[in-house]
Structure 1
Amino acid sequence: MTTPIRVYIARLAGLAVFDPNGDLVGRVRDAVVRLRTTGLPPQVVGLVAEMPMRRRIFLPITRVTSFDPEAVALGTGTLNLRRFSKRPNELLVLEDLLDRRVVVEPAGVSGAVVDVAMECSRTGEWSLSRVAVREHTRRLTRRGHLYQVEWENVRGLIGAADIRGTANLLAVLQDLRPADLANALQDLPDRRRDEVAAALDDERLADVLSELPGRDQVEILSALGRERAAVVLEEMDPDDAADLLNELPPPEQDVLLDLMEPDEADPVRQLMKYTPGTAGSVMTSEPIILPPDATVAEALARIREPQLSPAVAAQVFVARAPLATPTGRYLGMVHFQRLLREPPAELLGAVVANDIDPLQAATPLPEITRRMATYDLVGMPVVDATNRLVGAVTVDDVLDQTLPRDWRDRNAATGSTAGGPASPRDGVTGG
């Protein structure tokens, strides 16, 4: 008798998917199962893979030729590139079953689902077969026993879910970049999305919020409660926090700003005063700023700081004290490539470039875009009337403003609408 092939689905999350030519198709995000009325376990009909540009597509299970710890391989055939949409009689294993509170029979043990296995029959049909359940325990110093049981011995898998935890789903999502995690949150039901977002630590949630469309930002922030929302806003870059607050009614803006620490709220208040569509409204007020007597070695150490985005770390601005915006007199900037070519002991004042006029806070976006393109810059300084540095506009700030307003919204970006027709399962041939 041939031993059935068994694959635990949570272990597939994030694995690369390759076509027969060895080209990367995307990465596994979930498995799709179809419910059956015969009492049999759900049938696995395919995988959900995330392609570049945040598009999620359906891969029929019949196209998969192998699973291994590093990758999933596909056979020959045509891929349907329409955005995946779940049908009424379907479940997503990780999204819908992970963390679900269930009861293991006949022992009557209560626990949470941590993984689900699928197995392939002799006829080539994949079905859910076993469930890994972690027993609930009130003892903080001891993890509950892990049960691996047959599907039919678990009660509570199908139907309305009780309030679920988020630990196991977060474990699956923990290695995603903020933009990819934001993308995954948009695929969750609103309640589940809010639960997962609330379970993130403040810094991680701040990064993820910055990658979400405005509607989702507001809904998640509202679900957090004002105290937690203020703390998360403090963790965000001031320009991102200002953009988010601008989505809220003015009274709510004032409440949250008052709850923030004054030194965190002040730069956000200042950014919110600038006219929309100008350098002042899109700039970051926290670029890298050093005095002219700082060394090249000190500047290189600053740009290596891991929390800095590539666009912010691409250049160092040089100004007289004070170095917090608004600074003393602005002197110029040094691109990181120039820093790499200079001796470590060289002073920034000796290598600073000041041959490009800085932006004014009122400079309109089209002029900013034109000047950055003309001089091949990824960042430009913004100064006030007395030549004090008040911030910097980076290329990601410009892109955020020039792309369509709803570019972060996956439904809008792919031309689909929530609640629209499900993507077809035809048009895909097996290998």
Structure 2
Amino acid sequence: MAAGAPRVFVSHLAGVAVFDPNGDQVGRVRDIVTMLGGRRRLPSVLGLVVEVVSRRRVFLPMTRVTGVESGQVITTGVLNIRRFEQRPNERLILGELLDRRVTLLETDEEVTVLDVGLQRLPARRDWEIDRLFVRKGRKGGGLRGRRGETLTVEWDAVTGFALEEREQGTANLLATFDQLRPADLANVLHHLSEKRRAEVAAALHDDRLADVLEELPDDDQVEIIGKLADERAAVVLEAMDPDDAADLLGELPEDDKNRLLDLMQPQEAAPVRRLLSYEEGTAGSLMTTEPIVLRPDASVAEALARVREEDLPAPLASQVYVCRPPDETPTGQYLGVVHFQRLLREPPFALVGSLVDADLRPLPPGTTLPALTSYMAAYNIVSAPVVDEGSHLLGAVTVDDVLDDLLPEDWRQAAAAGGLPGFSDQALEGRAREGGVERDG
């Protein structure tokens, strides 16, 4: 849309980059704030919720938006970096208005809001909602699942936004954030209302929800898993990494934890139970039970193929663990590790059993966090093997697991709010100025 164009639909604003007049990016649009009711015929658009440094969400008044064009928002360059707090009379368009069921006044027919059109008032920087893109028919589609007719209507052609909706849809909200990484989608969920968060979680695919849960603060995890049916909660826990599933279950009351473990598939629950058996803050409680394990007769080509797996976290891809059969944890005798760089230097047909680094001593599961961090720092590694008394590999501790335990318990909430340790308001302000924005009051 060209600069100064009079209308834009909010689906085109979700995730759009925000730039200052110098062309420096200062954040991304995460939602749009409006106020329903009031003296004006059409609802005012108050501003944008912009995600800036360290995922802090701030408020950008629409009066400071100078242009919306070709997938970007241009501002005056003055941005207040105080954290956005939604006021009681404010509504978030993406988070609260999309997927609402409202009624067409002319026909008394229920429709679903798919998108919302914003209009810029002539000769002013004020914006208002003037259009709705809606679909006719009840939830779940019409006869035999066919979707109803879609149409664009004036804002005042519908009614029902002021009514509380018990079960609001999520399809269009999720579509606007479909390409977000799990950590970013987790940040979106964290800022939704409890009701809306539960609706979105219920609509996510099990694997997607599992990825998002791993990135949420403990309180949000417990809240969401507690609102799922037990059978689905067990399936989602199975899709999570065993160490993350163990951390979540460890936050639940004992009865709830045991009930969900019993509902999980035995082969999926077994590693989680093992992790829960170790003392908190030890290598055993922090490790993942799914490192790359190879037999000594595996080739370098096989090892590199495993390292290239798309879903493998980078710390786990840094080295492979060579063990005698069986090669599922707890494995047969642990022989040593082969580092990724060594694999790159060897011919594809070489056997990993001839390349092991046996000098990197493994850790017992009772290793404390201070000893673990000293070990990883001393050897300059991002992943460490954990073995039992019989030299069977139990799992591997990765640097991200260590950081999770070293940081304050509320670090995820602090990150979501832009308050990461070491980032004072002054530091954030300095970072913001580097990006071309200044604190405004």
Q: Residue 363 and residue 68 in structure 1: after superposition, are their counterparts in 2 closer, same or farther (change >3 A)?
A: same
Q: Aligned partners of 1:6, 1:413: CA distance in 2, in Å?
A: 31
Q: How many residues align?
A: 417
Q: Which residue of 2 aligns with 1:275?
A: 279
Deviation at 1:215, TM superposition (A): 1.4
Q: What's the secondary structure of 1:227's corresponding residue?
A: helix
Q: Which residue of 1 aligns with 2:247?
A: 243
**Deviates most, 310-319 or 259-268:** 310-319
Q: Aligned partners of 1:158, 1:382: CA distance in 2, in Å?
A: 57
Deviation at 1:287, TM superposition (A): 0.5
The equivalent position to 1:260 in structure 2, one of 259, 264, 271, is 264
Q: Residue 168 and residue 250 in structure 1: after superposition, are their counterparts in 2 closer, same or farther (change >3 A)?
A: same
Q: Which residue of 2 aligns with 1:70?
A: 71
CA contact (8 A) 2:185 2:212 kept: yes
Q: Which residue of 2 aligns with 1:340?
A: 344
Deviations 1:207-233 (A, max 9, x none): 111111111111111110211111111
Q: Which residue of 1 aligns with 2:380?
A: 376
Q: Which residue of 1 aligns with 2:315?
A: 311
Q: Residue 76 and residue 166 in structure 1: after superposition, are their counterparts in 2 closer, same or farther (change >3 A)?
A: closer
Deviation at 1:413, TM superposition (A): 5.1
Unpaired runs of 5+ residues, structure 1, are: 417-425
Deviation at 1:142, TM superposition (A): 2.3
Q: Which residue of 2 aligns with 1:358?
A: 362
Question: Does residue 105 in structure 1 map to residue 105 in structure 2?
Answer: yes
Q: What's the secondary structure of 1:103's corresponding residue?
A: strand
Deviation at 1:411, TM superposition (A): 8.4
Q: What's the secondary structure of 1:408's corresponding residue?
A: helix
User: How do 1:191-230 and structure 2 match up within 5 A?
Assistant: 191-230=195-234
Q: Residue 276 and residue 183 in structure 1: after superposition, are their counterparts in 2 closer, same or farther (change >3 A)?
A: same
Q: Aligned partners of 2:82, 2:341: CA distance in 1, in Å?
A: 42
CA root-mean-square deviation: 1.9
Q: Residue 203 and residue 150 in structure 1: after superposition, are their counterparts in 2 closer, same or farther (change >3 A)?
A: same
Deviations 1:132-171 (A, max 9, x none): 1111242244221111111111111234234211111111
User: How do 1:323-334 and structure 2 match up within 5 A?
Assistant: 323-334=327-338
Q: Residue 108 and residue 391 in structure 1: after superposition, are their counterparts in 2 closer, same or farther (change >3 A)?
A: same
Q: Residue 4 and residue 380 in structure 1: after superposition, are their counterparts in 2 closer, same or farther (change >3 A)?
A: closer
Deviations 1:356-386 (A, max 9, x none): 2111101101111111112221101001111
Q: Which residue of 1 aligns with 2:81?
A: 81
Deviation at 1:63, TM superposition (A): 2.1
Question: Does residue 61 in structure 1 map to residue 59 in structure 2?
Answer: no
Q: Which runs of 4+ in 1 moved over 4 A?
A: 410-416
CA contact (8 A) 1:43 1:128 kept: yes
Q: Which residue of 2 aligns with 1:48?
A: 49
CA contact (8 A) 2:315 2:383 kept: yes
CA contact (8 A) 2:56 2:419 kept: no
Deviation at 1:108, TM superposition (A): 2.5
TM-score for the superposition, normalised by structure 1: 0.93
Aligned AA (2:149): H
Deviations 1:36-95 (A, max 9, x none): 422421111211111242211111212222212322222233x21111111122111111
Q: What's the secondary structure of 2:143's corresponding residue?
A: coil
Unpaired runs of 5+ residues, structure 2, are: 421-437
Q: What's the secondary structure of 2:412's corresponding residue?
A: coil
Q: Residue 392 and residue 14 in structure 1: after superposition, are their counterparts in 2 closer, same or farther (change >3 A)?
A: same
Deviations 1:266-306 (A, max 9, x none): 11111100011100000001101001111111111111111
Q: Which residue of 2 aligns with 1:392?
A: 396
Q: Aligned partners of 2:340, 2:58: CA distance in 1, in Å?
A: 39
Question: Does residue 170 in structure 1 map to residue 182 in structure 2?
Answer: no
Q: Aligned partners of 1:141, 1:274: CA distance in 2, in Å?
A: 50
Q: Aligned partners of 2:203, 2:230: CA distance in 1, in Å?
A: 16
Deviation at 1:345, TM superposition (A): 1.4
CA contact (8 A) 1:100 1:162 kept: no
Q: Aligned partners of 1:400, 1:301: CA distance in 2, in Å?
A: 29
Deviations 1:164-210 (A, max 9, x none): 11111111122111111111111111111011101111111111111
Q: Aligned partners of 1:251, 1:242: CA distance in 2, in Å?
A: 15
Deviation at 1:415, TM superposition (A): 6.0
Q: Aligned partners of 1:190, 1:245: CA distance in 2, in Å?
A: 20
Question: Does residue 131 in structure 1 map to residue 135 in structure 2?
Answer: no
Q: Which residue of 1 aligns with 2:431?
A: none
CA contact (8 A) 1:48 1:57 kept: yes
Q: Which residue of 2 aligns with 1:28?
A: 29
Q: Residue 72 and residue 412 in structure 1: after superposition, are their counterparts in 2 closer, same or farther (change >3 A)?
A: closer
TM-score for the superposition, normalised by structure 2: 0.90
Q: Aligned partners of 1:364, 1:15: CA distance in 2, in Å?
A: 44
Deviations 1:81-133 (A, max 9, x none): 11111112211111110110011231333111111011111132211110111
Q: Aligned partners of 1:353, 1:23: CA distance in 2, in Å?
A: 47
